[in-house]
A = this chain, B = another copy of it.
Amino acid sequence: MSSTRLASHSPLGLHRVLEPAGVLPQAAWRLDPRPEIWPDEVRVRVRRLNLDAASFRQLSESTDGDPDKIRHAVLEIVAGRGKMQNPVTGSGGMLTGTVDEVGPESPLGLQVGDEIATLVSLSLTPLVITDGLAAWDGKSEQVPCEGHAILFGRSIAARLPDDMPAELALSVMDVCGAPALTHRVVAERAASVVAIIGAAGKSGSLSAAAARAAGARKIIGVVPHDREAEILRGAKGADGEHGLVDEVVIADARDPVALSGAIAAAGGPADVTVVCVDVPGCEGGAILSTAQGGTIIFFSMATSFTAAALGAEGVAADVTMLVGNGYVPGHARLAIELIRTEPGVRGIFQGRISE
């Protein structure tokens, strides 16, 4: 490493971008994954990759489920790009491992030996695989793996808690931005009525618990059918008296009139509406279900920006609409704490993991 390169390191990892020059690591075609670290970086000994579901599906289908072929495909991507970013889906995933070296200027607060999960995408994380993925059967997005990865000054990582299985902790951290932002918005706005669209899912159930912790008086949980309604009705809140939600509503979130009618009947409109279902077309329903002056948080990656913007204007809805940023300081800690204290949410997660 020349001193010129050392002098030019960036907390965003720009110094690791090989091509095209000048873009952010996520947009780069190829990163420099060398094991030597710059002063604000951290090197991690990788234990496991958790491929993004869309990426794994694409890889699995394009290799006809053949274990040798899918291993080869992943190895080729990582060797060619210096990161595990599926060129078709653009997505990555996360990883777990052990901290191996911490640069003197790293702001992440990690210690050598810490067991961690990365909370920034693999699509921007420099990565080298050294075991040929020999321990992976190619049948699951959980990929046992040896090698190293690099965290930048502005990367995010969280220590794995020692009081719960790693798989549970990982699936919690994967969605931990949703409860953190929900908590902040409900607390800031002193929201009384909160509607969670997709409340029996992972991000939805955590967001319901976060809304309660932030002081919501009434939580309306929306689910698409009876089976999920049953799961949600069976979920208790932390106090053992209330449910995780106060009202369970079965409605099609894509039908604005039906959804807003059902939420109104359950005590709405909502001061804060949280959209946690990954199906397109939920914008209009969320807008009509929210009170004038209220706030909608869109966590679904299927959200259409234009449908939200034009939909609100079309019905003269004075609602604040937030893009669900996956990063809020302290998000992993809050979500793990909710899993520890909320038996209903923990039950929902355990049920989803064993599915």
Tell me the A residues contacting B by CB distance below 8 Å: 12, 14, 22-27, 119-121, 123-124, 154-156, 177, 255-258, 284, 288, 298, 301, 303-306, 308-329
11 interchain pairs, CB-CB under 8 A: A25-B314, A26-B314, A121-B314, A301-B309, A304-B305, A308-B325, A309-B324, A317-B325, A318-B328, A319-B325, A322-B323
Contact A325:B313 (CB < 8 A) given known A24-B257, A24-B284: yes
Contact A313:B329 (CB < 8 A) given known A24-B256, A24-B284: no
A325 touches B321 (CB 8 A): yes
User: Measured between C-beta atoms, what is the minimum distance from A264 to chain B in Å?
Assistant: 13
Cα distance, A87 to B248, chains bound together (Å): 38
Cα distance, A124 to B22, chains bound together (Å): 44
Query: What residues of B have a CB within 8 angstroms of the CB of A258 in the complex?
Result: 22
Query: What residues of B have a CB within 8 angstroms of the CB of A123 in the complex?
Result: 314
The 4 residue pairs across chains A and B that have the minimum distance between CB atoms: A313-B326, A321-B323, A312-B325, A313-B327
Minimal Cβ-Cβ distance residue in B for A292 = B329
B301 touches A305 (CB 8 A): yes
By CB atoms of chain B within 10 A, which of A311, A313, A317 has the most? A313
Query: What residues of B have a CB within 8 angstroms of the CB of A312 in the complex?
Result: 323, 325-327
What is the total number of copies of this protein in its complex?
2
Query: What residues of B have a CB within 8 angstroms of the CB of A24 in the complex?
Result: 256-257, 284, 314-315
Query: What residues of B have a CB within 8 angstroms of the CB of A310 in the complex?
Result: 26, 121, 326
B22 touches A255 (CB 8 A): yes
Query: What residues of B have a CB within 8 angstroms of the CB of A321 in the complex?
Result: 322-323, 325
Minimal Cβ-Cβ distance residue in B for A108 = B316
Query: What residues of B have a CB within 8 angstroms of the CB of A155 in the complex?
Result: 316
Query: What residues of B have a CB within 8 angstroms of the CB of A22 in the complex?
Result: 255, 257-258
Minimal Cβ-Cβ distance residue in B for A326 = B313
Cα distance, A299 to B266, chains bound together (Å): 34
User: Measured between C-beta atoms, what is the minimum distance from A120 to chain B in Å?
Assistant: 6
A154 touches B322 (CB 8 A): no
Minimal Cβ-Cβ distance residue in B for A26 = B314
Minimal Cβ-Cβ distance residue in B for A188 = B320
Query: What residues of B have a CB within 8 angstroms of the CB of A25 in the complex?
Result: 314
Cα distance, A189 to B339, chains bound together (Å): 33
User: Measured between C-beta atoms, what is the minimum distance from A210 to chain B in Å?
Assistant: 17
Known pairs A120-B313, A318-B329, A320-B322. 7 more at Cβ < 8 A?
A24-B257, A24-B315, A121-B314, A156-B316, A305-B323, A319-B325, A321-B322
A327 touches B317 (CB 8 A): yes
Query: What residues of B have a CB within 8 angstroms of the CB of A323 in the complex?
Result: 298, 305, 308-309, 312, 321-323
Query: What residues of B have a CB within 8 angstroms of the CB of A317 in the complex?
Result: 325, 327
Minimal Cβ-Cβ distance residue in B for A154 = B316
Cα distance, A296 to B327, chains bound together (Å): 15
